[in-house]
Amino acid sequence: MAAIPPICDFGWQAIDATLPGTDGKDHSILDHAGPNGLVVVFICNHCPYVKAIIDRIVRDAKDLAELGVGFVAVCSNDADDYPEDSFPNMKLFAETNGFSFPYLQDEDQSVAKAYDAVCTPDFYGFNNKMELQYRGRLDASRGQPGPADLPRDLFDAMKQVAETGNGPEDQIASMGCSIKWK
C-alpha cells in the first residue's frame, strides 16, 4: 500500500545514531554530513518505488557530494517478515547498484521512529546546521521510472540548501511503500 509522508517541518533537528553499514563498519549518521548539508533517505531493497528510481538516487548522491552535501540511506524494514530486506540482501543491493554512500540497517527501527519515517523512499534534506529544509520526492516518478528529463526535485532543493541554507517553500511529498514495522 502506498504511503505519503507529511510536509517538511522546517528547522527540525537531525537525529544521530550509529548503525551497521553494508561495508562492514558502524556509521554515525551525522558523521556523513558534508559542509553544506546532509540527505538521509529511508529505502529498502524490495519496494517497487525504490527500485524504479535507485539509479537516480545513486546519481543524485554523487552529484550532491560535488556540492558538499553528504548522503546516507537507511533500511528499517522488518527483515523477518520481509527477508528480501535482510542485511545480506542489503549488501547485495548496495553492490549491485553501485552505492557511493553508506547503506545502514536500522534493525530495531528506532531511527525510523525517531525520524517519523513513513515510506520508502522517504527523503530528509538538512542544511549545514542539521536543520530540516526538505522532505519531498526525488522526482515525479511513481512506482515506474519517469522520463529521463524529469525535474530533479531533491537535487534542485538540496542545491538551494547548499547555496542558501534554506529549502524551497513548495515541496511535493515522496510516495512509496509503507515502512514494514515489526
| CATH, residue 45 | 3.40.30.10
Q: How far apart are CA 68 and CA 115, in angstroms?
A: 23
- The segments of the chain whose pLDDT lies below 70 read 1
Using CA atoms in the order 126, 132, 133, 138, what is the torsion angle rounded to 10 degrees? 70
Number of domains in the chain: 1
Q: How many CB atoms are located within 10 Å of the residue 69 CB? A: 26
Per residue in 32-52, is it b (16+ CB within 10 Å) or e — as a string?
Answer: bbbebbbbbbbbbbbbebbbb
Nearest CA-CA partner of 19 in 125, 110, 126: 110
* The pLDDT value given to residue 59: 98
* The pLDDT value given to residue 7: 80
* The pLDDT value given to residue 143: 84
* The pLDDT value given to residue 1: 56
Half-sphere exposure of 61 (CA within 13 A, CB side): 24
Q: Which domain holds residue 16?
A: 2-178
